[in-house]
Chain A
Amino acid sequence: EDKVVQSPLSLVVHEGDTVTLNCSYEVTNFRSLLWYKQEKKAPTFLFMLTSSGIEKKSGRLSSILDKKELFSILNITATQTGDSAVYLCAVEVPPPYTGTASKLTFGTGTRLQVTL
């Protein structure tokens, strides 16, 4: 069974701190890894990584994938209260039939709280 594990489960930091969120996975057939941010409602897409060592950056957020060790990290620098959310990691596995969509297996998330 495909498995995605995130750590820590929750984290409280002060505004301005840097945080690192971890995601490890065991899947039968890997295609990509995605990070989502979930505030009070729907998860919103942050990054997709497909190759090892590729670092994605978007402002203060960055992410790295290591396909050999089967993990990814999400870094947030100079955290702000608006970064408070649950961060979800998901792994994409190929579909059962050619020409159809892949499905995602999600971890249970890391709850980040940024305080003043």
Chain B
Amino acid sequence: DAGVIQSPRHEVTEMGQEVTLRCKPISGHNSLFWYRQTMMRGLELLIYFNNNVPIDDSGMPEDRFSAKMPNASFSTLKIQPSEPRDSAVYFCASSLRGLAKNIQYFGAGTRLSVL
């Protein structure tokens, strides 16, 4: 299995621009998680989906952030407009609820720099 695939790996943009991060979960997994990692706050859960339905978005910092999961094999996290404080590494993870006991498998992350 290819694992969780994220794109792009690096994104540099200017303040005010729209940013879209993409994630392909492990095939067969039914839960998908978006995290943000910074030195100050560590790894924070932003939102997660179960069977393509958002379950908990309480970690989404503000209305500038939105996430979608149109099907079982694709999700996006969008920031519009972006701000310098959004600079971080964004991880996507997926899991299979059930026998695998909710072990989350992470993608390689997208390093976002907002200038």
Q: Which of A41, A42, A43, A107 has the most CB of B within 10 A?
A: A42
A108: which B residues are within 8 A, CB to CB?
A: 41-43
- A binding-site residues for B, Cβ under 8 Å: 32, 34, 41-45, 48, 88, 92, 95-97, 99-109
- Given that A100-B97, A101-B30, A109-B42 are contacting pairs, would A92 and B106 also be in contact in the complex, using a CB cutoff of 8 Å? no
Within 8 A of A (CB), among B39-59: 41-45, 48, 50, 55-56
**B95 on the A face (CB < 8 A):** yes
CB < 8 Å neighbour of A42 from B56, B101, B108: B108
The answer to whether A34 touches B103 (Cβ under 8 A) is yes
The answer to whether B97 touches A41 (Cβ under 8 A) is no
Within the complex, the shortest CB–CB distance from B14 to chain A, in Å, comes to 26
In the bound assembly, the distance between CA atoms of A48 and B100 in angstroms comes to 10
The answer to whether A101 touches B102 (Cβ under 8 A) is yes
Within 8 A of A (CB), among B8-32: 30-31
The answer to whether A44 touches B106 (Cβ under 8 A) is yes
22 contacts between A and B (CB under 8 A): A34-B103, A42-B106, A42-B108, A43-B106, A45-B103, A48-B101, A48-B103, A92-B102, A96-B55, A99-B50, A100-B97, A101-B30, A101-B31, A101-B55, A101-B95, A101-B97, A103-B48, A104-B33, A104-B45, A107-B42, A108-B42, A109-B42
